[in-house]
């Protein structure tokens, strides 16, 4: 049997998990669950590499992960096996063999995140775990104006929750698109990479613009401050989705 590098495209409901990344103090992670299943398939420990380390409660529509397996199974058989033993709130959409040097995180060129907000007082029953119920009307046009200031290449240290983050904090956001349908506002963020809680802090800051607490022009001062306290609140995890990983 030969060792194969298999890339998985995954969906999951992050509501009951402690995030993507395997941790020493909990076994309840997406990475941990997938490693358990693949290790049983291969008959030996298997390490899974994810493209994005989604936080506790964050969901994914298009997470990418890869793992190297010694198996004679076909990709279709691997996919069927994984879905047979994964819990119902994690689904592998695809399993493809990729070159040995492929790494889901290191080879990623960018990511797309979605954040959903409901301006209604109460969300529909079957949406409440996947949307932030704000219960307040937002000035969506002001939010769009603010998003223009945040688009492009900037130092986003003010939008990073890790205050002692020592790595470079310059990132490029190619797109912040804000759409509205009924009472639901959806924010789409596309960029080359995102800092710890960056999308949720960006969202919280844009919400404050929509509430009239900040002006669109104040985004410039927030970026220049390079201080987490200058930006808005961290929006709840439940409204956030990793939508797509770009290669």
Catalytic positions are: 55
CA distances from 5 to 64, 72, 108 (A): 13, 12, 16
What are the phi and psi torsion angles at 42 (to 5°)?
-85, -20
214 and 232 Cβ atoms separated by less than 8 Å = yes
Interacting residues of 232 by C-beta distance below 8 A, sequence separation 6+: 201, 204, 205, 206, 207, 208, 213, 214
| Neighbouring-strand partners of residue 59 | 241
**Hunting for tokens 């979605």 — which residue is that?**
114
The number of beta carbons lying within 10 Å of the beta carbon of residue 82 is 21
Q: Hey, which bits of 51-208 come out as E strands?
A: 59-70, 90-98, 110-118, 132-133, 152-155, 170-181, 184-191
Phi-psi group of 96: left, alpha or beta (phi > 0 → left; psi -120 to 50 → alpha; rest → beta): beta
The structure tokens listed for 233 are: 């609140």
What are the phi and psi torsion angles at 118 (to 5°)?
-110, 120
């Amino acid at each position: 049997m030969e060792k194969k590098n298999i890339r998985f495209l995954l969906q999951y409901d992050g509501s009951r998990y402690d995030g993507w990344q395997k941790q020493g103090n909990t076994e309840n992670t997406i990475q941990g669950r997938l490693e358990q299943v693949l290790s049983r398939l291969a008959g030996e420990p298997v390490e899974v590499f994810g493209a994005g380390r989604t936080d506790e409660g964050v969901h994914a529509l298009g997470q990418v992960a890869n793992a190297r397996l010694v198996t004679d199974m076909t990709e279709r058989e691997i996919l069927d096996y994984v879905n047979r033993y994964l819990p119902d709130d994690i689904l592998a959409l695809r399993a493809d063999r990729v070159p040995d040097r492929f790494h889901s995180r290191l080879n990623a060129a960018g990511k797309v995140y979605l954040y959903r907000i409901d301006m209604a007082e109460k969300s529909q029953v079957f949406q409440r775990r996947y949307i932030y119920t704000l219960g307040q009307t937002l000035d969506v046009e002001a939010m769009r104006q603010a998003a223009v200031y945040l688009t492009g290449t900037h130092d986003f240290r003010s939008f990073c929750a890790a205050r002692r983050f020592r790595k470079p904090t310059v990132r490029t956001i190619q797109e912040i698109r804000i759409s509205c349908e009924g009472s639901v506002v959806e924010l789409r963020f596309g960029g080359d990479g995102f800092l710890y809680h960056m999308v949720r802090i960006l969202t919280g800051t844009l919400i404050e613009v929509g509430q009239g607490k900040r002006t669109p022009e104040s985004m410039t001062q927030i970026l220049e401050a390079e201080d987490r306290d200058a930006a808005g609140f961290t929006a709840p995890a439940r409204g956030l989705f990793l939508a797509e990983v770009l290669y």
